[in-house]
Homo-oligomer: A and B are copies of this chain.
Amino acid sequence: MKKIVVFGAGLSATYLIKYLEEKAVTNNWEIWVADRDLDLVNRKCNSNATKKLEIDITNEVEVKELLTDTSLVVSMLPAFLHIKIATTCLELSINLATASYLSKELIQLNDEVKAKGLTFLNECGLDPGIDHLSAMKLMDGIRFSGGEITEFESFTGGLIAPECEDNPWKYKFTWNPRNVILAGSGGAVKFIHNGKYKYVPYHKVFRRTEIVAIDNYGKFEGYANRDSLRYRETYGLENVKTMYRGTFRRPGFSRAWNCFIQLGATDDTYVLEDSENMTHRDFINTFLAYHPTDSVELKLRQYLGIAQDDVDLWEKIESTGIFSNEKVGLKKATPAKILQSILEKKWSLKPEDRDMIVMWHKVVYEKNGQKHHVESSLVCEGENQEYTAMAKTVGLPLAIACKLILNEEIGIKGCILPISPDFYNPILDELENFGIVFKEKEIT
């Protein structure tokens, strides 16, 4: 019997735990799920065979005791905790799998992990995760048939299903809201377009968007990720002329979001004076010049150059409740924290709300002197507030990868990403059973 320990039973673990439990008997697995909140563990586990326990991850003695004779650890904990878990796994010779970014600290363990014949799999969720799997499968296929890739674009969005788009932004928080508030901040965006490096400062990122149409789902708007070139070597795209990776929203989102950026309302680097006693309206007014009589609304329009008849934009702004006299009620808060708390009042999923994941790749390549253009897209809708498409698309690829590692179907050792056929073929095949299906089309 092989022992699997899952750390963290939060939102993204729902489908992962379900999958592992369902395959446990056939595969002769013993599953342990540990979290600091035992109630959460009990809610998430469906099988009596699963061992459920409360754990303090910082207690090394407890953790080591739990990990005795373990074959694989899956960590769904916040990313900053992974290095500690990885170090323990290395010491005890246990394989590790997470959906988080491969960190610099982890890369430093690579030689030791390899030497011990272990696999530490990273970035095997949705984004990063399914994006790697699907892009590499698509591009390896093209290269295998003699094509040379000249352009690669890729976007992913965590959105809401069309029927649940009941606010003017057509957006709600389906993942960590903080990351949404801070998206694009912290440095210039970098990408390459037609052989030229391009840089976009934070305050322009949401004005340099691209519109993409996906069959049956309408149009989406993509803004650039911080470093589009991050996987250039990893993907074997050293000679690519255009490489652009980004995030999808519904059209109009970015232009409206840019208003918050222009104000300075997404800044997370300083604390506002007396934030506790501010109203939403005071919060917005703190970014606008003093005027003895003009309203906050009028000052905002003037400052940001919002025309009187720009109804689409204004509806979005107004719908957030930023002009209300409701109290913020947060002590020593940064603008970003306050904006998040204001938006959470409007943008949280209702119990019946279903989320939606959209992923899209565009690859342009040359073959036999001819230019080809192929697009591949995935749309996955969630079931409700708990069984979200986000949890499904993060948890299932990781769960399937766990099976591959435990069944020793993965030859590669070290701290790795799921970019080889060993990963993408079986995982993408199996994901289709869960309705996670990419549609490819040639554009002529």
Contacts and interface: CB of A to CB of B under 8 A. Distances in A.
B200 A203 contact: no
A286 B196 contact: yes
A196 B272 contact: no
Stoichiometry (number of copies): 2
Interface stretch (A11-19, A261-269, A365-373): A261-269
Nearest to A194: B290
A434 interface: no
A424 to B, nearest CB: 30
Contact of A188 (B197, B203, B269): B269
Given A204-B262, A208-B289, A264-B188, A272 B194 contact: no
A331 interface: no
Interface in A234-258: none
A270 B198 CA distance: 13
Contacts of A290: 193-194, 196, 198
A204 B289 contact: no
9 contacts: A187-B269, A194-B290, A197-B273, A198-B286, A198-B287, A198-B290, A199-B270, A203-B262, A204-B264
Contacts of A261: 201
Given A187-B270, A188-B270, A264-B188, A285 B196 contact: yes
Given A203-B262, A204-B262, A197 B289 contact: no
Interface residues of A, number: 32
Interface string A200-241: 110110001000000000000000000000000000000000
Nearest to A195: B290
A335 interface: yes
A211 to B, nearest CB: 14
A263 B335 contact: no
Contacts of A208: 289
A194 B198 CA distance: 42
Contacts of A287: 198-201
Contacts of A272: 197, 199
A288 B191 CA distance: 12
Pairs A-B, 6 closest by C-beta atoms: A201-B264, A203-B203, A193-B290, A197-B273, A194-B290, A188-B264
A162 to B, nearest CB: 30
B193 A286 contact: no
Contacts of A194: 290, 292
Contacts of A190: 270
A365 to B, nearest CB: 19
Given A188-B267, A200-B287, 8 more contacts: A187-B269, A193-B289, A197-B273, A197-B274, A198-B287, A198-B288, A199-B335, A201-B261
